Structure 1
Amino acid sequence: MPDPSPELPRLRLRLIFASGEKLGPGKADLLALIAESGSISAAGRSMGMSYKRAWSLVEEMNAMFTTPLVQSVRGGAKGGGARLTDTGEQILQHYRALERATTEGGAAEITAIAALRPPGAGKPPPDSDMSE
């Protein structure tokens, strides 16, 4: 979902369970990329993370719920791959719906907070030519 305005701050949602386990935007993005690519390693690469890190996050997510979110198939004649389970698809859909509801519901407050910042705050400085 595109941000309403590139000049407004972004809201990042992270669920923190009583156990301390977390489900946030990075894990949700990883799930979405696994669903899209059919590969844990490809999903991790597109996020700039190692295969080991992507696998670690998948194992962590799989252990968080009553059934795994990602099912992997080891390589063989046809190669390996991965897919979201029904639970994984449900978790991703619910998380994305919660993101939309939070962003839409908080839009007025986000705008109000941004309005209290000084003009130009958070904008990159203009290019300067140090040779002058």
Structure 2
Amino acid sequence: MVVRIKSRIWVDKDGQELIGPGIYSILKAIEETGSIASAARKLGYSYKFVWTYIKRLEDVLGVPLVESKRGGKERGVTELTEVGKILLNYYESMSREVEEVLKRWEQKFSNLVETLQTAVAEVEKEEEIPYYEEE
């Protein structure tokens, strides 16, 4: 028997999403690829969707999350700003802590389910009606 507790974390400010699984994956992909276009391809999103999502979040926060540099040998690169990196790190840290709590609660629920199954089995055993053959 395997008990799993699942959760997803969203952080809102006045009803506006600051970070959740979606923007986390976008920021992480930009950090890994160095490009909004590459991040969008990697995640299966359009460039416009990713760019719009980032800009909406930047408007909510009031600070830039990405910085693009054009030209050169690398044909331009997009990097997370310090705020973008901090947001990413906070979300990763929060996710790790929540996972630790979930693991502890999974064990507690596993124990509870085992106890309940044992109790039900004992009640069913007590309620068995013996079978007697007539002679």
TM exceeding 0.5: yes
1:87 aligns with 2:83: yes
1:32 Cα deviation after fit: 0.9
Of the candidates 29, 33, 37, which is equivalent to residue 37 of structure 1? 33
1:76 Cα deviation after fit: 7.0
| 43 and 7 in structure 1: CA distance in 2 versus 1, 3 angstrom threshold | farther
Sequence identity, in percent? 30
Check conservation: 2:67, 2:79, Cα contact below 8 A.
yes
1:78 Cα deviation after fit: 4.9
Matches of 1:41 and 1:82 in 2, distance apart? 9
Matches of 2:112 and 2:36 in 1, distance apart? 42
Matches of 1:15 and 1:114 in 2, distance apart? 29
Give the match's secondary structure for 1:106. Answer: helix
| 75 and 9 in structure 1: CA distance in 2 versus 1, 3 angstrom threshold | farther
Give the match's secondary structure for 1:71. Answer: strand
Report Cα offsets for 1:44-99 as digits up to 9, x if no partner: 11111011101111111222224211112345775232100011101100111011
| 113 and 88 in structure 1: CA distance in 2 versus 1, 3 angstrom threshold | same
Aligned pair count?
112
Q: Unpaired segments of 5 or more residues in structure 2?
A: 114-135
Q: Unpaired segments of 5 or more residues in structure 1?
A: 1-5, 118-132
After TM superposition, the structure 1 = structure 2 runs for residues 108-123 of structure 1, keeping only pairs within 5 Å, are: 108-110=104-106
Of Structure 1 and Structure 2, the greater helix share is in 2
Moved more, 81-90 or 14-23: 14-23
Structure 1 vs Structure 2 CA RMSD: 2.7
Give the match's secondary structure for 1:21. Answer: strand
Greater C-alpha radius of gyration: 2
User: Quick one: which amino acid aligns to residue 18 of structure 1?
Assistant: D
